[in-house]
Each structure stands twice: as C-alpha cells, then as structure tokens.
Structure 1
Amino acid sequence: MRIISGMIFVSLFILGGMAEVVRAQESTSTQPVTGVPMEKLQVLEPTQGRARIVNAGNSFYFMFRVEKLDVPRIDVSLVNTICETERVKLSAQGTPTAIQGNHWVLMLNVPKSAKPGVYNLIIDFGVGYQKIANAIKIIDQYKNKFRFVHLSNMNIGDPTAPDFDYRLVEEINLLNPEFIIATGDFIENAGLRHDAQSWKRVKDFLSRFHAPSYILCGDQDDPISFTSQINPSLVGTLNYGSLHFFFMMDSSYHPIEQDTSQLKAMITDLTNLKNTQTTFLVGNRDSLGVFEGLAALGQNPGDIFTQGKVRYLLFGGSTDWDFKEYAQKLASLELTDLAYIRTAQSSTCMKNGGSGISRYRVFDVDNDHIRYIYPDEQANHTAQHSVPAGRLKVLDQGPNDGSQNIESAMVVNTLNQSFDACRILLQLAGSDPESVCVANGQIERVIPAGQNKLLVSAIVDVPEKGSTQIVATSNPDAMARYEAIPVKMELRSPEKLIFTPGLTSTGLEFFSTTDKLELTLTNTSQQNIALALQVTLAGQELIIPRELFSPSTQPENNDQNEDADASSNMIHLATGQSLTIPIQPAVRFIYPGNHSIVIYTLNDPLRRAKTFPVNIVVKNP
C-alpha cells in the first residue's frame, strides 16, 4: 500500500550522477525580502498534475527549483478544498537540501491528527506564497472498494465545445472518486500556438473537482509548457494499493515508439514491481504505438505486459471503443486478460465522431474486480460505453448556505446504473459538530466552516433510475419528524430473472417474466402502520395486486397515520404482522445485466428506498 510519483525525483540523480548536497541555513529574518520573485520559484513535487496521496502521520518530499534560496522562511500548510477554514500545518524534517545547485528538497510531515480529504498546498516563503491546487490527498488507509474516473479528450475552443462542461464537476464530485485521470487534448490547438496560458484554464477547471487529478499531455496540448505549468516530467507513475499506473507521453507529435528513453524507463518500471496485482498503461494516443516501440528494442510486448501485470490499456479518444478498431493488433499479443479501453469526448465537441454529449468513464473497483462499462440502454450501436453527462443531478431543497440549521438535498439519477457511497455537501447554521444528525445517509465528516457555520459531508447510495433524499440538521430535536417507518422488507427471487418480449392487443411491445418474485413486509413496531409503496425495476413501476388494499386486510385502527384508512393505496400492517406480496414484473423496456428492484415508501418523510439486486436475462420466445 503506497503511492509513488517519484520519477521526477529519481531523474535528478540519474542526470547528474552524484549530486552535490548543501544544507540551507535556517533564516532568522522576520522581514520579507525581495530576493526571490515568485515566478522564479517552481514547485516540482507535488504538483496539481501529479498529486501525492499520503497517510496521516506519514511524510512526503517537497521539491522546488530556485536559483538562490534567499527567503526569510518556508512555511508549508494544507487547506481543505471543500472548506478553506480547515488548515493543516506541516512540519519539516530539518532544513532544505540543495541537489544539483538550484534544486531543493525538504521532507514534510503530515500530522497524525490530519483528517482525510483533498488539500491545496500553500507555501509561504515570506516574500509571497504559492498555491498548488489539489496537490495532497490525505487518507486513513487505502481502500479495496473505491472508484476513479477517466476524463478523455475535450478540445475546448472547437466551435462545438467553446467551454468546459461544468456538469462534469457536479456529477463527478457527487460520485466521490479517489482520483481522476485526465488523458489530455484539453484546449484546441494550444500546442500549435505554444500557448502556455492554456494550462491555466485546464488547471482552474480541474481544481473544481474534489479529487486529485493525474494529467497527461495530448496532441492538442503544449508539451513544452507542460513541464513548467503541470509537472516537470511528461511521464509518471502512480500506485494505489495493489493498482499500478504508468502514465505515458504518447501523442502524434511525440510518438512513444520513437522515445527510447521512455520505453526503457517503462521496461524498468514494469519489470521491478512489488505488491502490484494490476497495472494500467495510460496514454493519450490510442493507436498502440507502444507495441512497435517495445518490439524495436528487442522486447516482446506480451512478455513485458505479463511480467508487469498489465491488464488494462487506457486511452483518450473521441468515441468509446467499438471493439473493432485495433482489434487485430491487440489479438497479436495473444493475451486474453488484456483490456483495451477508450473513452469518448469529455466535452460537447463533435469532431472525429463525438456525439455532442460529454462523457466520462467510471471505474468501480471491488478488490480484484473492476467494472468500467456503462450499460447504455439508449445506445444504437455496440461499444464500450462510458457515462453520459446530464442524467445525474443534485437538487438542493433549501439555500444550503449555512443560514439554516436544517438542510435537505435530493439526488436524481436517470442513468441505467446505481452508485453507492456518493457524497453530498450540506452547509448548516451551528457551532457544535457533535450536534449534527443525518437522516437517510451517513455522516462522513462535519467541519467547522466559519462563525456559526458547519459543513456536513454525508454519504448516500443512489439507486438506478430513481432518487434519494437526505436531511442534515444541527438541531437533534428536529430529527423525530424524519424517522423511518418501522418495516422490514425481504425479497425472494431467483438468481436470474428471464424476460421475454410480448405484444399487447394494440401492438404495444413489453417484456415480462414468469419467474416468481415475492416481497415480504413485516411490521417491527408496537403500533399499526400503513405503507404506500412503489416498486420499480429500471425506473419502471411494477404492479402490486389491488386486493392487498381491500378493507378486509386493514386493521380497525391505525395509530401512525390517521389518513391511512382513507387511502385506497395503503397497505396496512398490525403490530408484528407480516405480509407477502407477489410481484409479476412487466415493463416496457429492459436492458440485460445487473439491475435493482427498488421499493419506495411514498409516505415516508424522505421517501426512503430499499434496493434488491437482480440479474436480468432477455430471451426471445
């Protein structure tokens, strides 16, 4: 379990042989001096393009380049990206050490008390300061179950994509990834114009995400200014737990097959891995030039990939891979466990076959299993689909500005996939983090966010083609009105549900199954209850038999809801009573694969949902 982004640090020793080491004298000056203009000082590590993921209580290298270290102080701190009032002071191990004259390195300690989160790195030299956005992610431990996101080509400046799609920020922040991989082609023709300022637009956009980004240089980008604006090295590595990533510099203007030094570095990296179970090779150009490059060095790509446990080749592109392009080239390696992945445009750009809908790819990692294909039921072609933007929304039910002691938000998901462990941020009036309560979610953190203001980071699970609502309050007495109706739900169904198509007498197509599903409801309280239920499959309502609402099944009294007896849509359960409901699913449309049967309790104050996973098989009769 470790993170390495140290290719830059190692290269300093390789380029200069034995490096001269000089210790800086600790400054006693208290007055700012003007000897070091801030533009002359470059932070080399960590950077926004190669963030460091650090355990609380551990240390990391802080490296910078300056001609002469003549500053009154070096104070380094972290500022939480979601709440600027939370700051973490870092302590240094000794004073900066000079390596090769104008390169300096300092070991910084993260205190054990530091809370998990993504932080901006703030360096105060006494003559000014620098901010490196999203440079540090503090964790308690590496996760075995998590997600990360791939952002593909954007080509901002094309007539069909004049600006970044900020819906990506809202949706991806909700999905709460551990990190983001952005494979380049950000600004149209920035490389041809040698436009160093274009990287500022890219960095400003990526800084809006609540996750560290690992940024690659693409065909459209300027590789010269990349090394000063994003990261000193065009290549790099990342280890997250047992996953290893090698970030290639591979574009039409810088093909990897012509970069012998990079190929040799890759071979060294892949043949010396430890504690790695799975490796991703990541690049901008999707034409697999790395195959020819390794072969030209006398290496069998298949052997190198096997030794390096390369299981995934991840690339940017304009369209999701159709399983055809480069298929013969892939097959030549005879590696059955090697996956080629290409993600469509992460903007509205329509060049080279882009659809005009921004897309991103979600990698859900669960130990050794990685899911990365979105089951796109609306697609009219076979492809390795990614997630289309615009179908996952957070709707604040109040001002969410810290002026109220209770806030609510709803997540609406019309995608054909559920997402667990999503994050919602709610701002409350209040001063005591211990007073905060959450209904229909879990508290991740509560952060004091200023005078009488609290920021609540809460975790919710979002069902497919459905919604979920959450409430947070700093007034515990308010929680009583949001209590769940005390009912236990159990669903009995076969491992696979087999659906077949049919037609009504009017010619309407539908899908149904003869498989038996039974929903059992049990009243776990000491009072009678009434339930208004809606059962859905892939967002489509399933019918509950009407006889279950007949007066003969209703108790004479209902202590929970006086209006329940007047409703013909209520199911009534006496104290301790259980009732089994047969469900015969029939839907207009269904997509094969993993789905959920979702049961909403409509008279619950938050319309709570209970989900049951099912596997759908569609067969012709």
Structure 2
Amino acid sequence: MQRAPADSGHRIVLSPTLGRPAFAEPGERLRIVAHLPEDARGPEFHLTRGGARPMRIPLEIEGAELERLRTGGAAALRVPPRTLEGTYDLELRWAGGSAVEPHCVAVARVGRDLRIVHLSNINIGDRGAPEFDPRLIDEINLLAPTLIVATGDYVDATCENPAAAWRRLVECFRAFDAPIVLACGDHDDFALYSQYVAPSPVGLTAVGPHRVLTLLDHGLAPIAQDAEQLRWIDSALAIPGFDGLTVVLAHSEFPGLLREWQQRGVLSRMIQSGHLALWFAGGHRDWDGREYRELIDAAAPLLYLRTQQSSSAVREGASGVSHYRIVDVSGNRVYMPADAATEPGVPPSLPTGRLSANVRGRNDASESVLTVSAVNNHPFRLDGLAVRLRLRKEADAPPWCHGGRIERLADAGDAWDFRVRFDLPDKGAARIVAGVGPEPPGQKLAVGFELAAVLRARRQYTSDGVSYLTAANTSTRITVTNTGTAPAEVSPLVRLDGDLLAYHLANSDGPYLTARPLRLEPGQAAALQLDLSALRVAPGRRELQVYLPGDAAEVPACYPLEVRIED
C-alpha cells in the first residue's frame, strides 16, 4: 500500500528505508525496490557504514534482477557471506548519480527470540526538548535490541525549522546499532516523513519469523475513516504460512483498529488468525491500566503498551526525563524487566540515566586490551547487555574475555571485531576485560551462599524516629574458597539493594567491616557472617552480591532473594 505526497517520486529507494528496514543474513538475499533513472548505466549497490573503520560492502546482482528493478519490481541482491552483522546504509551508484538510504539494512541472524525497545513521542523542537537525548543512544545500544520501534511525533509541530530537525534526527537514528521501525504521528509533517522515513506511513516489516505492522492512526487521520487502509490490513494479515508473532505500531493512544474489529464482530478471530501479540501505542505517559480497559481486555492475549515521553518535553504529565521500554520475546512469551515491588499490571517504562557502560582504552582496533565498566542502577536485573569491541589483531589466535561472553567474532583483517555479552544484577556493576595475546591467569575463587531464599525483615525506629529494617535473627553465611594452586589475597565486598553490608569471620568476635582483607591458601575457605541488624532495602526480588576485588575483571557472584518486610 502506497500513500505519499505527489513529490515522492523523487525518492530513489522505496524499500528498504530508514523506517521500514530489511533483515538479511550473511550470504542470503536482500530484496530492494528503487526508481532508477532511465539513463542510469552500470548501477552498483553497496552496504556502507561509517565510524572509526568505515565499511563498504558490494552487493551482488544478476542481470535478470537488475532488469526486474528497472521495470519497477523487487530485485534480490546477495549479501556476501563474510559480512559483519550490524545495520548498514544502502548505497546506489550509477554513471552520473547516486543515492543513499540510511540505516535501512540489518545484517543479522534473527530467531524466534527478540528484544524490542519502544520509543514514544519525542517532539524535537518543543521548547522543553530542543534536541534528541543522546543518552537514549548509549543506553539502547547497551541493551542490544533486535529492533527499535517508535510510535510517532518525532519533530514537534512548533519546531521553527522542521526540515533541519529531521536531518539531525536521522543522524541520531543512524547512531543506533539496531534498525528502527517508525510510525507517523500527528505532529509529523507528512512530506518530511515520506522523505526521510518511508514513502508510505503504513507497512509490514519482516523481522525473522515475526513481523511489524505499522499503521496510520492519529487524531488527524483516524483509522476508522480509512476504508482503504482497513482493507489492506485484512489482506496483509492473511498472508498464508505465517507462524510468528505480529507487533503493531500506531501513534494513537486509542487502539482504533481493535474497536473496528470489535464492531464487526471479528476481534478475537483477527487477533488469533493475525497472530497479534504486542500493540505499541504513542503517548506522553505510561498506560494507567484503566483507559480503554474493556476493549483491551476483549483483545486478550494481545498486550497493549504505552511508554512515557522519550525526550525532556513535559507534555501531558511527562516527567521531563527521557524514557524507553524494553520488551523481550522468547518463543510465544513476553517479558519486561521490572521491579517486583511495583503495582500489578504492565511495568512502568524506564528512565534514562540509570544504565551505563564505559570502555577504557581506544575502541578503534589500536589496542590489545580493552576494559568495559558497566553499571545498572535499576532495581532489577538486566540480562543480555552488549558492547561492541575492536581489538588489534596480533596473531591468528582469537581474543580472550574475562567476565563476559564473546559473540559475533569477525576477522576484519588487521583487527578483531566482536560483541561482549554480559548481565548486570539489580543496582549492581561489572568489569569485563577482553584482549589478545597472553591471557592473564586471574584468581581462582569460588563463592558459596548459605541462607534462605526469603529474607524477612522487621521495621524498627530509633529514639529520634529514624526508621530502619532488621533481620538480625536470620542465619546468613557466605563462603569464599580459593580453588587455585597459589595463595590469594582479597577483600570481599557484599552488597544488597545498592548498599554495602558489613561482615566478620564466622565464629569470631572480631568487628564487622565492609571490606576485610583475607589471605587464602590453596584449598582454604573463609566463612563470612553478615550483619543484618540495620538494613535499608526495598521489598521485592533482590540479589545479594559478592564482589572480589583484585583482578582486572570483576563480576559479582549473586544469590537471588525475596525481601519481605513484616511490620
């Protein structure tokens, strides 16, 4: 389905585009649609990517495919088997001209598991949000999503120079590692959206075995008045053989398509036959669990999601802090990281500023060792984080990694290019080291936990009215054992809900300390007794964390707990 202003013919690449990306595995075929000029001779096609080490990868096209492209059809181009996974620009060059479609081809192996990040109403140009928040780029790249989805209102209607704002916004989107699917909002100039995002505001994007259905539905273009779009949706969802999940994007907070189906008496059937699993709506605030509740309940098991403003704009009760939402899909199950102590229902979206990772050293393939220091200050665990590293290649031996897992390792000639995967506990940190050449041995220390899975704490008050929690009667013991063949010196740190806990050696009368130096001979163990007499901890799922300083890499040993407060 194509809807675009009359001047959209000036767009060379029709598919894929920035807001309707294509996924292709290395060695597989990529389908493109383009309006080549009639006199374009000898066209060449490349995947390109900038950065410290720019890439330009030729795509193979056969004569029959080129002729199909010239006559308005979709041509299949082969992605070279050794192409590094990532998101690329698509470049077309011919004698006398060229065209580049930014950030539109994701070279990736996509299975049934997905990580999706949702961005809502950005409103760049609003007096409270003059520019895109760069923290979104850093944090979302660290989360390593398969796909980013955004539900409109990218440039505010009050922006004084919307064309310039769109150009800057495109550069921000190109800084994401993942591709992005973009719905159109009522603040978005339709001509500029068509120029920079996609020629049509509606579309169907394949993501491995899954798909994203992008709708045009907002106050200025309600879907209930769009019979053509409704017919197209019925046809698009009826494609035979599809067995993945369908993700829906729409700018309107009100899920108008669901009401249309309900009035036609086909809501449950369309949800089931269309495999609809997630509905991302635009808006400035998280869903309160009450608006449109009856309709959303009738659409079960479809999950309706809204995310607070993804910029510093303070429209309609937004906090002024950019937010985003993480949704993990595993098979047919959906999971959103959240604090178990929050109210039942859809978890709140996440504010920026609580997740970070810094690389010590120059991450440009000039170093032989790099260190990643990562911090998660959210009150819940975040798994599957990733940082892309580039190390100097000194020999054919692959790089080593302490504290993380190497994936997507690629030989880039004079460099190793790869991602380091790692997990972070709630209000926790980790330090990961990767390098080439001789691998440092590191200390061989094992941590054991002897405590119940539920920590029951009672609230107490000092004579001055200061409250605290105590679990002094709880038996807790942590054992640190030297499993190596050399003596080890370490000063363990124990943390719970972000606070250090004091401890002393079990069966001793020594003072409680937050960092006690220990020397352990091979095979020797030290038992630590925790001081739980005065705690500051929130109820819910938490992880008791033990850090063992001394090595270049440091990943805490964790023990999951449920904290219950009994007044």
TM-score range, shorter chain: 0.7 to 0.9
Match of 1:303 among 256, 266, 269: 269
Match of 1:576 among 523, 540, 546: 523
Structure 1's 511 and 270: CA in aligned 2 closer, same or farther, altered over 3 A? farther
* 1:502-581 mapped onto 2 (5 Å cutoff): 502-513=460-471, 516-547=475-506, 569-581=516-528
Match of 2:326 among 342, 356, 362: 362
- Aligned length in residues: 560
Contact 2:432–2:555 (CA under 8 A) maintained in structure 1: no
> Which residue type is aligned with residue 169 of structure 2?
V
- Secondary structure class of the residue paired with 2:61: strand
Match of 1:164 among 101, 120, 132: 132
Q: In the alignment, which residue of structure 1 is the partner of 2:542?
A: 595
What do residues 557-611 of structure 1 show as CA deviations (whole Å, max 9, x unaligned)? xxxxxxxxxx981234332234444446567444444332221002333333222
Contact 1:549–1:571 (CA under 8 A) maintained in structure 2: no
Structure 1's 386 and 168: CA in aligned 2 closer, same or farther, altered over 3 A? same
Distance 1:499 1:281 in 2: 44
Distance 2:50 2:532 in 1: 46
Residue 105 (structure 1) aligned with residue 74 (structure 2): yes
> Which residue type is aligned with residue 42 of structure 2?
R
Contact 1:196–1:229 (CA under 8 A) maintained in structure 2: no
> Which residue type is aligned with residue 430 of structure 2?
T
Please, which moves more after superposition, 106-115 or 496-505? 496-505
Q: In the alignment, which residue of structure 2 is the partner of 1:125?
A: 94
Shift of residue 242, structure 1, vs aligned partner: 5.0
Residue 284 (structure 1) aligned with residue 251 (structure 2): yes
Contact 2:502–2:515 (CA under 8 A) maintained in structure 1: no
Q: In the alignment, which residue of structure 2 is the partner of 1:462?
A: 424
Structure 1's 598 and 209: CA in aligned 2 closer, same or farther, altered over 3 A? same
TM-score by length of 2: 0.87
Distance 2:394 2:13 in 1: 37
Q: In the alignment, which residue of structure 1 is the partner of 2:20?
A: 50
> Which residue type is aligned with residue 255 of structure 1?
P
Residue 293 (structure 1) aligned with residue 263 (structure 2): no
Shift of residue 212, structure 1, vs aligned partner: 0.4
Distance 1:421 1:383 in 2: 21
Q: In the alignment, which residue of structure 2 is the partner of 1:136?
A: 105
- Secondary structure class of the residue paired with 1:290: helix
Q: In the alignment, which residue of structure 2 is the partner of 1:346?
A: 310
Distance 2:534 2:206 in 1: 44
Match of 2:375 among 405, 408, 412: 412
- Secondary structure class of the residue paired with 1:237: strand
> Which residue type is aligned with residue 34 of structure 2?
F
Q: In the alignment, which residue of structure 1 is the partner of 2:445?
A: 487
Structure 1's 438 and 81: CA in aligned 2 closer, same or farther, altered over 3 A? farther
Shift of residue 485, structure 1, vs aligned partner: 1.5
> Which residue type is aligned with residue 188 of structure 1?
D
- Secondary structure class of the residue paired with 2:503: coil
Q: In the alignment, which residue of structure 1 is the partner of 2:459?
A: 501
Residue 70 (structure 1) aligned with residue 39 (structure 2): yes
- Secondary structure class of the residue paired with 1:103: coil
The percentage of counterpart residues that share the same residue type is 26
Structure 1's 568 and 194: CA in aligned 2 closer, same or farther, altered over 3 A? closer
TM-score by length of 1: 0.80
Contact 1:81–1:118 (CA under 8 A) maintained in structure 2: no
Distance 1:209 1:528 in 2: 45
Q: In the alignment, which residue of structure 2 is the partner of 1:203?
A: 170
Contact 1:502–1:510 (CA under 8 A) maintained in structure 2: yes
Q: In the alignment, which residue of structure 2 is the partner of 1:554?
A: none
Structure 1's 518 and 264: CA in aligned 2 closer, same or farther, altered over 3 A? farther
Structure 1's 121 and 445: CA in aligned 2 closer, same or farther, altered over 3 A? same
What do residues 308-360 of structure 1 show as CA deviations (whole Å, max 9, x unaligned)? 232332112111112122224434x2x55332211001000001111010011
Structure 1's 364 and 516: CA in aligned 2 closer, same or farther, altered over 3 A? farther
* 1:179-258 mapped onto 2 (5 Å cutoff): 179-189=147-157, 195=162, 198-258=165-225
Residue 424 (structure 1) aligned with residue 370 (structure 2): no
Shift of residue 186, structure 1, vs aligned partner: 0.6
> Which residue type is aligned with residue 271 of structure 2?
F
Distance 2:508 2:369 in 1: 36
What do residues 377-418 of structure 1 show as CA deviations (whole Å, max 9, x unaligned)? 7x9999741111112222333344555433323112222233
